[in-house]
């Protein structure tokens, strides 16, 4: 599962070349989706009017809801000092879940905000899509 945090969501909305290429490629592959945690989408929209509209225009983008279990877990993470609502919702989405096999990858522009053990990839790293 590939997750975009607030920074990656804003970058996609702003036309980030690599993220746009990734979203386009995933749209052509059935079952491949980019997941944006609802709190990250909310934060991106609060910082940039119409960011949500621009990212949701990609057919490969889905929103991971902040349901009851997620809300309790994210609230606990915030209380325990892991960051704000958007960071903690992205972290929650990156944790192993029964409905998704394999390891999640969290795309971000702020890798330092996530604890060790979370697989993060900087959206501006030269090898993000295999380009060097």
Residue 24 lies in a domain: yes
Residue-range definition of the domain harbouring residue 20: 2-122
Residue 49 lies in a domain: yes
Which CATH number goes with the domain that contains 72?
A: 3.40.50.1010
Q: Is residue 131 part of a domain?
A: no
Separation of alpha carbons 79 and 81, rounded Å: 5
Rounded Cα gap, residues 131 and 109, in angstroms = 18
Cα–Cα–Cα angle for 64, 115, 68, rounded to 5 degrees: 30
Number of domains in the chain: 1
Q: Is residue 91 part of a domain?
A: yes
Per-residue pLDDT of the chain (132 residues; tens, 9 = 90+): 899 999 999 999 999 999 999 999 999 988 889 999 999 999 999 999 999 999 999 999 999 999 999 999 999 999 999 999 999 999 999 998 777 777 899 999 999 999 998 999 999 988 775 554
Q: Whole-prediction pTM value?
A: 0.92
Q: Has residue 128 been placed in a domain?
A: no
Any domain includes 132: no
The answer as to whether 127 is a domain residue is no
Q: Would 130 be classed as within a structural domain?
A: no
């Amino acid at each position: 599962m590939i997750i975009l945090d607030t920074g990656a969501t804003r970058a996609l909305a702003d036309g980030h070349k690599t993220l746009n290429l990734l979203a386009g490629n995933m749209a052509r592959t059935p079952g491949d989706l980019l997941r944006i945690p609802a709190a990250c989408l909310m934060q991106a929209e609060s910082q940039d009017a119409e960011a949500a509209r621009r990212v949701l225009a990609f057919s490969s983008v889905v929103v991971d809801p902040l349901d009851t279990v997620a809300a309790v877990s994210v609230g606990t993470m915030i209380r325990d000092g892991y960051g704000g609502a958007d960071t903690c919702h992205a972290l929650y989405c990156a944790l192993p879940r029964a409905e998704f096999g394999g390891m999640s990858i969290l795309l971000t522009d702020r890798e330092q905000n996530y604890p060790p053990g979370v697989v993060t990839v900087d959206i501006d790293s030269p090898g993000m899509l295999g380009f060097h």
